[in-house]
Amino acid sequence: MIPMTAKAPSRDATSLIPLPTNIARITTITGAALTILSTFLAWTWTTAFPGNLTVTGYPGGLQNITLTGGILTLLHALTAYRPRGLRWLTPAGTTAPTLLLTLGTLATTWYTLAAITTQLGGLAHLEPGAYLAALATLLTLTGALALPADRPYDDRGGTKPPTPWNRFRHTLTTGRPPRPKELPTWADILIIAAAYATGLYAFTYGIDTEYGELFVGYLILTCFTIAALGRAGLTTRLSHLTAKHRNIALAAAFIAAACFPLTQTNDTYTNLAASILIFATVALGLNVVVGLAGLLDLGYVAFLGVGAYAAALVSGSPESALGVHFPFWAAVLTGIGASLVFGVLIGAPTLRLRGDYLAIVTLGFGEIFRITMLNLNGTTGPDVTNGSMGIPNIPDLEILGFKFGETHDILGVPIGRFGNYYLLMLLATAVVVLVFRRAAESRIGRAWVAIREDETAATAMGINAFRLKLLAFALGAALAGLAGTVQAHVITTTTPDSYQFAGTVPPNSAFLLAAVILGGMGTISGPVIGAALLYLIPNKMEFMQDYQLLLFGLALVLLMRFRPEGMVADRRKQLEFHETDQLDVPERGLPDGAVGVTKAEA
């Protein structure tokens, strides 16, 4: 970032629209203020569009999304003047986050106006407030594009010609944030707590959206806001704090997640949150196999099914062929043990294969499990699983007198059945996170990473690759069995069709693998975020059900193009997929007569 006392770079080299810097900033601030004002005016005259955008003086529905974007844009635009109270918002630069927030607000606003026009049948349904919002967001974008970049554009090396696209990409880059001033421990803890509280509020708002249009607007602005916070350097500072106080950060994340049922008035969305936790836990188990050990498993959802069926058979269901009723701890051990045994039985003969061959074998195992569960129906095989009917009527849990099927009051807030199972699944997720973290930081975890990077080299260094790959396979299967045990009691039934390789409803092997890859292989938060998005988006965007797989594929292509390391990536993946400045040596920092090596020369 250029200091305020330094000479600003020329407009032609740093901005896309030739305007003086002060005029550009004033234009951006004015446009953001008008955008905020427009949300207090009516955007349409009819209540046929969801959200009631007909009220003047009180924003509603998608207007709240635009209002939030306008406020964030205004705050970041004001940081260019470096006011004392807002300096912490943009430690790495002001232009990039302002431009990203402007784009997010514009995209949300214009999506809303397009949805109103399309659903209601014409521009005649728009009120003056809608036109003001459209013009105000365009004015804000014009000013943001004219802002000088946080770093001067230099094309003298010839590697990046000064095309509009290259200049636009350069505008969205920032320098490294300055080293923050050391704060007292209590201040660090407060910042971490505030960050997780904000995340809880944002997640709660997203999961509580009542219609698809509102969720789409929320998703658009959230994506641009996260990108803006990253460009501003805030996420880097927060990651430093969480790394410095890792145990406190994990405890804060657990407490924030545990508070979610307290924000709900019914079980409609708590059920969705519990399913997300199940999906995320299974994704973390798959992350051991794929993210740490580098084993491509396309039939991993079968281990979830093994744990679910094992628990269903011993949990007292009237339709169970065994006719036994184990306590919960015994049912959990049964599900984990069954999945662990199947993981060893499948892994022992197949883990000597590599790459595509291993993927094909695991895909076959997943299909064999599903077909076997179908055939154990008493006609084509022994009567164990009731075939396609599955094992229904799995009774609710009761642990130490606490009945999960009944409503309980916690801090004066009624917690229903799915809220109880959500808290139970949260404990299971915490156990899986602890196991994953300990395994990744151990000697075995480092050996898994070595096998993932180069199995031949790891074997040459004395690592028993087969034994360690089998251990990863067994551990991943056991974690999936743990999640399957809880899932069987949450949905009260298990059927073979719930455990397929691909389908429109997760969890299935394809979506689990996508959650790990898109979220970030080898990390803890990456698969959790990826699983939450891949489960939440199909449930909220039912109006786009026919194009779900198409949109999923498009998002996959775009993310692999612009962020192949995943949404949350570790340092190793960032160095692997992106250029770094490690070889750049400033000449003024060299001894007399020494010559620096630039990235282009390297």
- pLDDT of the residue at 592: 39
C-alpha 338/C-alpha 326 separation (Å) is: 15
**Residue 135 in tokens:** 């013009």
Assign 3-state DSSP to the chain and report helix, strand, coil percentages, each to 5: 65, 5, 30
**Phi, psi angle pair for 460, to nearest 5°:** -65, -25
Higher pLDDT, 90 or 164: 90
C-alpha 19/C-alpha 22 separation (Å) is: 8
Q: Where are the domains of the chain?
A: 11-153+167-176+196-243, 272-499
> Span 7-18, mean pLDDT?
52
Predicted confidence (pLDDT) per residue in 249-298, tens digit: 888 888 998 888 888 877 788 888 888 888 888 888 888 888 888 888 88
- pLDDT of the residue at 12: 42
Question: Cα–Cα–Cα angle for 492, 494, 496, nearest 5°?
Answer: 160
pLDDT at 599 over 60: no
C-alpha 231/C-alpha 96 separation (Å) is: 6
Neighbours of 88 (CB within 10 A): 14
Q: What is the pTM of this model?
A: 0.81
DSSP secondary structure string, 226-240? HHHHHHHTHHHHHHH
- pLDDT of the residue at 225: 92
- pLDDT of the residue at 71: 94
- What is each CA distance from 164 to 15, 17, 21, 25, 161, in whole angstroms? 9, 10, 19, 21, 9
> Span 377-400, mean pLDDT?
81
Predicted confidence (pLDDT) per residue in 305-353, tens digit: 899 889 888 888 887 778 788 888 888 899 999 999 988 888 888 888 7
8 A C-beta contact, residue 129 and residue 42 = yes
Portion of the chain with pLDDT greater than 70, in percent: 86
> Which amino acid is it at 297?
D
Higher pLDDT, 581 or 471: 471
What burial letters (b/e) apply to 269-307, b meaning 16+ CB within 10 Å?
Answer: bbbbbbbbbbbbbbbbbbbbbbbbbbbbbbbbbbbbbbb
- pLDDT of the residue at 600: 37
pLDDT band at 187, cuts 50/70/90?
confident
Average pLDDT, rounded, for the chain:
81
- What is each CA distance from 272 to 264, 268, 420, in whole angstroms? 12, 7, 13
| H/E element, 157 | none
